Amino acid sequence: MNDAGEIQGIIYCYRNENPDAGEEFGWHYVGYTDKELLRKNNWNSEGHYAGKKIDEAREKWGIKSFKYGILEVIYDKDQDKLEERMRELEGVYIRKLDAVERGYNGNYGGSGKTGVHCSEETKAKMRMSMPHRRSVIAIDPETGSETLYESFRMASIALKVSVGEIHYHALKSKSHTLKNGYKLKIAI
């Protein structure tokens, strides 16, 4: 938020800069967010990022093959208006950069799940299918008390570690212990 009380949103892209990428060299993925740091952290973590095409490209070429850039910065005091404008601009830039036909976007933007209301059961199933969206329990190393976080993102904020570290220790490491001593387990 800036001094005028406006929320900042950005339209950003990742561009494939790998000279060995052949036809895919120079291809883009375009996205938008009002939480830039979180999106960057998600980019640097393993697993799902945004869609099948960009996820496969990240795996194939490696995340370091992509250069990050901000295409446009916008501000609004109203979160809904900001979201609408970002979605609109995302579509403009996806078309401008041909990021569907010769890029990593799966569609022309603005067609995400915004506005769709799901049952709690459906939401739970969706979280289980996306590891970074699962609920996680953190166990305090000093007291042994357990705290439930609704997502890896919420746990990372509260425990002051990256989403990638939460992801790794919750799902991949054998000890499930973060560098700050907290132990993690996935909530079912």
User: What is the percent of the chain with per-residue pLDDT over 70, rounded to a whole number?
Assistant: 86
Question: What's the pLDDT tens digit per position in 20-34?
Answer: 999 999 999 999 999
9 close to 86: Cβ distance less than 8 angstroms? yes
Which residue ranges form the domains of the chain, and what is each CATH number? 7-96 (3.40.1440.10), 120-186 (1.10.10.10)
pTM to 2 decimals?
0.59
Please report which confidence band the pLDDT of residue 115 belongs to, taking 50, 70 and 90 as the band edges: very low
| Residue 177 contacts residue 161 (beta carbons within 8 Å) | no
